[in-house]
Structure formats: C-alpha cells, structure tokens
Structure 1
Amino acid sequence: MRVVVQRSKEASVTVEGKITGQIKKGLVLLVGVTHDDTFEDAEFVADKIVNLRIFEDENDKMNHSLIDVGGEILSVSQFTLYGDCRKGRRPNFMAAARPEHAITIYEKFNALLLDKGISVETGIFGAMMDVALVNDGPVTLIVESKNEKS
C-alpha cells in the first residue's frame, strides 16, 4: 500500500456535485493499493498513520498523533499513486491493483481506522472526485506498507 498523508485544517470530497465526505482538523489520505497488498498491509499502514507524531505540541514540536489531537480522516481511493512515469509520456498503471482487489483492501483499511476510534469520511471508490483541502503546514508524507518492493 502507498498512502499520501496530508495534514489539513479542513477538507472535503465531492462526487457529482454532492459532498460525500467532510472533515475539520485531521488528515487527508490518498490511498493506493497494489496487487499483492493484504489485510496485514492495511493494518500496518493504518496503525502507522494514526500514531504518526505530526501535530504540534505547546512548543510547536511535532509530538502529537492524530489520536492525541482527536483529529478526523478523509480517506480517498487513489489508484494513480501506482502510476509509473519512467517511460514515455503516459503513466503506466499496471502496478495498481484491479478494482475488485483494491476495494476490499481499501474498505478494510477504513474499517481498521474506525476500529482505532478515528472518525473516517470517504469519497466513492472508483468515482471521479473533487478533493478540497486546506493543507496545514503544509505537512505531506508518504507511508508505504512493509511489503513495498520499491
């Protein structure tokens, strides 16, 4: 799994003119799944993300996690995170999981976040989505699962 993590002050995702997910302070997650990702990968990444110390304490040091600050998550499926742009001018998406596998891992990932007590909002898997956010910092990180090959 590959997840782009963006700390945000507020964010929303809109599909066909309707807001499907909206958060205040928290994290926007762009979630990519590859062919051999498993539920164990989803657990590893979910645990890593909710415990990352990327929110400031009273001394402006990144010492607090999402759990510590009571933040929310906006989780958006994003197969293009596995786009390979090394050859030619058109990305190759062969490393992205097929939808029937990706949705299973993506939904498990979101369920794991909920199990950790985090409020999770989402877009709609496979839909064209407009994502709006006020990036806080900005702070943007990439978290990959333990099985990542590259």
Structure 2
Amino acid sequence: MTIKPPTPPFTLETATQKVRGAEDAWNRQDPDSVALAYTADSWWRNRTSFVQGREQIIEFLEHKWARELNYRLIKELWAFTETRIAVRYCYESQATTGSWYRSFGNENWEFDQNGLMRWRHSSINDLEIDEADRKFHWELGTPRPPDHPGLSELGL
C-alpha cells in the first residue's frame, strides 16, 4: 500500500506542504513520478480533457510538456478541509510556435486516507504574454527556489 505524506486530515501546515510538493513535482516534469501521487484509478478533469488512471495521467503529461515548453509553475493554497484542498495556480510556458503564455487556474483535489489524490478538477485560462513580461525565472526542470516569490507576492 502506497502512502504519500502528508496524509489527511489536513492542517494548514500539511495542506501547504501538499501544495508545495505538487508544485515541485510538476516543475520537475517527470510524468512517471508525478503519476505516483495519484490513486491507481484517479479521475481528472483538466480543461475539457477527462483522464482516468495513472497510465492516462502519464500520457496526458507527456503530451502537455511536449507542447508547453519552458514550463514553470507556482501553486498556492486557497482552502482546505480534512480530505480536500483547493489551489490556485499560474504557470508560464512557451508554445511550439514560440509564443509565450501565462496560464491561470484553479484546482480542487480530494485525497484518500493514504494521501494519494483520487480526484482532480482543473479550470484554466491562457493569456498570451511577451517574453519580456515573464515573471517565473528559475532553472528549467527544477522546483521553484525557496526565495522566489509566490503568486501573492507577484501580484498574480
């Protein structure tokens, strides 16, 4: 049985840890590793895509990061209950055409007793930006450095 701490019931501290852990994992852009944070039968709605299970999660993320280049993400805790977490997030990426985008989103997560996410609902809006307007500057494929501002500090 896989356990992915922190586990429910969440506190402010553990919910914040869960959010930062998810952010770090997605910034590493390793679909196989990211998928391990979800139940084997996890269910997602991401924009208008519906994904179920780790195999489909891996496939979804491989396609995502093949078209969203130079991807950097910041997540921020919005609210939580014993087993659920709401997150707001923003990421910057470059399309294969060269255009830059800042994507704003909200996620609702539900976890099982082992700390694995079983439900993920994500709504996202994209804004084309000039490269000079980018705000997320850290080494690609690594977690956001501890001293890099979060969404609230950046006014996003």
The alignment's TM-score, normalised by the length of structure 1, stands at 0.28
The higher relative CO (CA closer than 8 Å, separation ≥ 6) is in 1
Give TM-score scaled by structure 2 length: 0.27
